[in-house]
Amino acid sequence: MFDAIRPTLPNRPGVGYKAQHFNDIMADADPVGWLEIHAENYMGMGGRPLAQLRHLSEKFPFSVHGVGLSIGGEGPLDADHLARLKTLCDWLNPASFSEHLAWSTHDSAFLNDLLPLPYTAATVKRVADHIDQVQSTLGRHMLLENPSSYLAFAESDMSETDFLAEVAARTGCGLLLDVNNVFVSATNLGYSPQGYIDAYPLEHVGEIHLGGHDEDEDETGAPLLIDSHGAEVVDPVWALLDYTLAKTGPKPLLIEWDTDVPEWSVLADEARRADRALTQTAVAA
Amino acid sequence: MITTQTDFRTALLDPNSPPPEGVRNPDGVQATKRFDVYRNNVAVSLTEALETAFPVVRKLVGDDFFRAMAGVYLRAHPPTSPVMMFYGEEMPAFLAGFGPAQSVPYLPDVAALELALRHSYHAADAAPVAPDALGQLAPDTLPHVTFAFAPAVRIIPSRFPLHSIWWANTHGGKNTQNAEPALVTRPEFDPQVDVLTPEQAAVCTALMGGEPLGQALRHGGADFDLGPLLGLLLARGAITSLKT
């Protein structure tokens, strides 16, 4: 592909940055080695959010994680929004830029959720075209994240893992593997999470996400897990992480906690658990 | 069977419409509760965004009223940008035309003030002039001076005691009966709200519009005293340059 910046996050634990943790992080972030921000929260013109980033970026590598580009959208990408992402990336010079395999904007309405798309030859082309546009505009290789799914589409005729492999092959993008999303989707749609990892194009993984989810049931009593990022990572997801790391070796690991955000010590404990998983992987390798 | 994003979006925002035909449970049956997860995510996340943006409006009308009102607002005005920090731009006009809110006639002004606080918080940084900057100018040039203001400065005109209403609901205290436009500034990172008289608001609005000082003062009436307004603007770091 073209001469673009490649992701350079360290193979260490990172956390999703929240403003209320600024002082804790500046004082002692151990074992956290990098921070991730949601791009859209830093698209103001100035003030405290950007001042905090300026200070933190002197000490930590950053991952800029977009939640609103609507890469899976039927319509064209929002050029204004892509320009805002470029402004942020040019200013912060993050170690990674990532976005979601999802859509959120249609007919100019932004729906503030990561909505699902069917997996077909037509949607592979649409997503790959959009990723080409993102990478050439930003001058960076991006990572594409697998979604949490609650339902399937009648028209889908390929697996999510084949879809991601095809998009990565066509665009040269890397992949952000969210193992909580794998666990949520596998439970909701009735397949094996380990089987998903076995089928996943692991050679493209540039970052792994971990987060908490909520438990519910559908109208038939079947389990329905909801991706909430509002609690500790559960043991089966840690086990799925170990299963994955045994195949990939150490990777940058992110703890996501976006609602009911706890105090820093709780988040640091989760990061320590991620750090132990990385250490065990390195010893085994 | 193709599910278009128009089908999906229409069903998402209309709680009475059935899910799109092509969405499936793992057993192949049409998804209903599973589709409701997305429906719920959209309505709850947009309602929460409005609760975060308009805490004083919410306090004035109560949680239940606010949630019901937000449900109407988010369907009439879904966000048009992924930059959610400014979601709710149409709230003042929406509230002015929202039947059930007519008994609280100052709600649109409170919403305008809360929007101004968000814009101020995220506005570009700007270095203020020195407190004695005006005193450094030759007296005969003063009528011709124009002021540049920091991007974080806003004036919210109001025929209601807007400042007292806002203050009473954020810090405590009583409302007055006067018209109290509000001045929003941002000395460093935290926006401040100060009270202006209608005359001060008129003069300040003229200065912000680029009128020279001598001309702007005419909006304050014959007895207007510039001192208190100027002192406030300088203390809040609202003025970034003076030009003669």
- The structural domains of chain A, with segments of one domain joined by +, span 13-284
- Interface residue of A81, A105, A113, A226 to substitute, partner B, most B CBs within 10 Å: A113
Q: Are residues B159 and B99 in the same domain?
A: no
Decide if pLDDT at A282 tops 80: no
pLDDT in tens, A229-242: 999 999 999 999 99
Residues whose CB is less than 8 angstroms from the CB of residue A20 and which lie 6 or more positions away in sequence, other chains included: A261
Query: Which 3 state secondary structure label does DSSP give A65?
Result: strand
Task: Specify which residues A63 forms β-bridges with.
Answer: A36, A96
The secondary structure of B7-34, three-state, reads HHHHHHHCCCCCCCCCEECCCCCECCHH
* B49/A contact by beta carbon, under 8 A: yes
The total of other beta-carbon atoms located within 10 Å of residue B28's CB is 8
pLDDT of the residue at B174: 82
Question: A40-61 b/e with 16+ CB inside 10 Å = b?
Answer: bbbbbebbbbbebbeebbeebb
Q: Which residues of A touch B12 (CB under 8 A)?
A: 111, 115
* A230/B contact by beta carbon, under 8 A: no
* B46/A contact by beta carbon, under 8 A: yes
Q: Count up the domains in chain B and report the number.
A: 2
Decide if pLDDT at A31 tops 60: yes
Nearest partner of A31 among A280, A276, A281, judged by Cα: A276
Query: Which 3 state secondary structure label does DSSP give A211?
Result: strand
| End-of-domain residue from the set B49, B76, B104 | B104
* A228/B contact by beta carbon, under 8 A: no
pLDDT of the residue at A97: 98
ipTM of the modeled complex: 0.94
Task: Specify which residues A115 forms β-bridges with.
Answer: A103
Query: Which 3 state secondary structure label does DSSP give B188?
Result: coil
* B77/A contact by beta carbon, under 8 A: no
Q: Which residues of A touch B3 (CB under 8 A)?
A: 118, 153-155
Q: Which residues of B touch A45 (CB under 8 A)?
A: 122-124, 151
Q: What is the largest CA-CA distance in chain A?
A: 52
Question: A247-260 b/e with 16+ CB inside 10 Å = b?
Answer: ebebbbbbbbbeee
Question: What distance lies between CA B150 and its chain's CA centroid?
Answer: 17
Q: Are residues B183 and B239 in the same domain?
A: yes
Q: Rounded to an integer, what distance in angstroms lies between the CA atom of residue B72 and that of residue B94?
A: 10
Question: B173-201 b/e with 16+ CB inside 10 Å = b?
Answer: eebeeebbbbbbbbeeeebbbbbbbbbbb
Q: Do A155 and B6 touch (CB under 8 A)?
A: no
Decide if pLDDT at A30 tops 90: yes
Closest partner residue to B79 (CB to CB) among A112, A152, A155 is A112
Residue A80 CB-density burial (10 A; 0-12 exposed, 13-18 middle, 19+ buried): exposed
Q: Which residues of A touch B152 (CB under 8 A)?
A: 47
pLDDT of the residue at A7: 87
- Percent share of chain A, pLDDT over 90: 95
| End-of-domain residue from the set B104, B126, B147 | B104
Task: Please tell me chain B's helix, strand, coil percentages from 3-state DSSP, rounded to the nearest 5.
Answer: 50, 10, 40
Q: Rounded to an integer, what distance in angstroms lies between the CA atom of residue B5 and that of residue A116?
A: 10
Tell me the residue range of the domain where B126 lies: 109-244
* B151/A contact by beta carbon, under 8 A: yes
Closest partner residue to B46 (CB to CB) among A84, A107, A112 is A112
Q: Are residues B33 and B137 in the same domain?
A: no
| End-of-domain residue from the set B77, B104, B131 | B104
* A224/B contact by beta carbon, under 8 A: yes
pLDDT in tens, B46-100: 999 999 999 999 999 999 999 999 999 999 999 999 999 999 999 999 999 999 9
What does the CA dihedral A13, A14, A15, A21 come to, rounded to 10 degrees?
A: 100
Count of positions (residues) in chain B: 244
The total of other beta-carbon atoms located within 10 Å of residue A30's CB is 10
Q: Which residues of A touch B31 (CB under 8 A)?
A: 150-152, 218
Nearest partner of B39 among B60, B14, B69, B2, judged by Cα: B14
User: pLDDT-based confidence at A285, cuts 50/70/90?
Assistant: low
User: Do B188 and B144 form a contact (C-beta atoms < 8 A)?
Assistant: no
Rg (Cα) of chain A, in Å, rounded? 18
Q: Are residues B66 and B88 in the same domain?
A: yes
Residue range A202-211: mean pLDDT, rounded: 98
Residue A192 CB-density burial (10 A; 0-12 exposed, 13-18 middle, 19+ buried): exposed
pLDDT of the residue at A2: 55
User: Two tokens at A102?
Assistant: 């999802």
Q: Are residues B3 and B71 in the same domain?
A: yes
Closest partner residue to A46 (CB to CB) among B2, B78, B125 is B125
Q: Which residue of A has its CA nearest to B40?
A: A113
Extract the residue ranges of chain B whose pLDDT is less than 50.
none
* A221/B contact by beta carbon, under 8 A: no
* B127/A contact by beta carbon, under 8 A: no
User: pLDDT-based confidence at A284, cuts 50/70/90?
Assistant: confident
Residue B223 CB-density burial (10 A; 0-12 exposed, 13-18 middle, 19+ buried): exposed
pLDDT of the residue at B177: 85
- Percent share of chain A, pLDDT over 70: 99
Q: What CATH number does the domain located at A13-284 have? A: 3.20.20.150
User: Do A207 and A9 form a contact (C-beta atoms < 8 A)?
Assistant: yes
Q: Are residues B121 and B22 in the same domain?
A: no
Task: Specify which residues A178 forms β-bridges with.
Answer: A209
pLDDT of the residue at B15: 86
Query: Which 3 state secondary structure label does DSSP give A102?
Result: coil
CA distance B197 to chain A (A): 28
Query: Which 3 state secondary structure label does DSSP give B230?
Result: helix
pLDDT in tens, A73-128: 999 999 999 999 999 999 999 999 999 999 999 988 999 999 999 999 999 999 99
Segment B197-206 long-range contacts (CB within 8 Å, at least 24 positions apart): B198/B157, B199/B224, B200/B228, B200/B229, B201/B155, B201/B157, B203/B229, B204/B155, B204/B229, B204/B233, B205/B155, B205/B157
Q: Are residues B87 and B116 in the same domain?
A: no
Q: Look up residue B223 and give its DSSP letter.
A: T
Average pLDDT taken over every residue of chain A: 96
Q: Are residues B100 and B147 in the same domain?
A: no
* B34/A contact by beta carbon, under 8 A: yes
Query: Which 3 state secondary structure label does DSSP give B201?
Result: helix
